[in-house]
Amino acid sequence: MENRSGIVLIIVLWALVALMIIAVELGRVTRLEGLSAGTYEQEVVAYYIAVAGLNRAIYTIVQSNQSRSSINGAQQNDSDTNSRGQDECPDPWLIADGQWKDEPYGAGGYQVRVSDESAKININTVDEISLRETFRNLDLDSDLGDSLADAILDWRDPNGLERLNGVESDYYLSQEIPYPSKDAPLDTIDELLLVRDVSQELFYGTLKKVFTVYGNARTGNMINPRTANPLVIRATQGIDSETAEELIRQRQEYCGKDVMDAASVLGNLPTVVTIDSVGYLTTGSFTRRLAGVIYRGGSSSFRILRWQDRLPSHELPIPHTSTYPNDTYSDS
């Protein structure tokens, strides 16, 4: 009888241990699912805040088109700018010179910048001499610059002939993941990542900020110096980085009024712009970033040429504080 009682006790103890293990594991799984649900909720909220910021910038641009017969009218269409005087800075979204603008929205806010695509070099139309000069002005190693220029020219030209330092399909088809040379104009600037010698560091750090695939009928192949970033200024004018940054600083002191003055003469503002939007929450550090390339049409029309729904976003472009509204910051 005593032996049976001992066996029952051991069985009960093992059963309790098993139940404890199950309970602990169930609690861990429940906690993880709760954290996942919370993270997903934050991601969704931040995403739609970013969408709201991008649409807010589009609305500002479209509204400016409707009354661009006068610069004052372009500034006064937005209800947020009705009280501005003639001596105050224009809205950075209208200038399209890449300044970030911070506005609160819902459970957080968005930081949005509008960049003029005509202020970059068109990779599809730039000639060979200018392309090589661009890489020299950017202080790339001479061998790398020549190799990179030939590779880009071979990628976009319609023939299968290789330049001195270039490559065609034979090279690309020999890669671990094979693909042919395009032998046609680039459809997106990200295609440069397929070209030999273009690393992610070089692309995201330099090339993406300097080149574009979007032409501009108003400016042709000439860049818009009023909205160009420091890298483009260096690439086209051959000046050092300190001088380029100083030119940007002086331009920002004038707060883009020359862009608006030019718009009053030419009759329009930049035609093709890229809008970057980062949505964030006031609690936590979670952000979502997206971008769209927008073509400004007539007085009330626009067309989305490209939409990027998920871009890397580890931190806010503008160091976030509780100071509102409409902080601006230049991040070229």
pLDDT band (50, 70, 90) for residue 23: confident
- Sequence-separated (6 or more) residues with CB below 8 Å from residue 198: 148, 151, 192, 207
| CATH number, span 124-209 | 1.10.40.60
Are 292 and 311 spatial neighbours (Cβ–Cβ below 8 Å)? Answer: no
pLDDT at 68 over 70: no
Amino acid present at 153 = L
Closest CA to 233 of 244, 249, 222: 244
What pLDDT score does 202 carry? Answer: 96
Share of the chain above pLDDT 70, in %: 79
pLDDT beyond 60 at 85: no
Do you know the residue count of the chain? Answer: 332
d(CA 57, CA 96): 10
CA distance 280 to 187: 31
* pTM for the full predicted model: 0.78
Please provide the DSSP assignment of 105-148 as one string: ETTEEEEEEEEEGGGSEETTT--HHHHHHHHHHTT--HHHHHHH
Residue 28's alpha-carbon distances to 23, 40, 90, in angstroms, are: 9, 18, 54
Contacts of 144 (CB under 8 A, 6+ apart): 135, 197
Evaluate whether 56 touches 103 at the Cβ level (below 8 Å). yes
Q: Which of 15-29, 209-223, 238-252, 310-324 has the highest mean pLDDT?
A: 238-252
Quickly tell me which residue has 């001992």 as its tokens: 6
Q: What would you report as the CA-atom Rg of the chain, rounded to the nearest whole angstrom?
A: 27
How far is residue 120's CA from residue 221's CA, in Å, rounded to a whole number? Answer: 9
Q: Where are the domains of the chain?
A: 41-119+247-330, 124-209
User: Hey, what amino acid is at 66?
Assistant: Q
Q: Which of 30-34, 38-42, 172-176, 253-257 has the highest mean pLDDT?
A: 172-176
Is the pLDDT at 218 greater than 60, yes or no? no
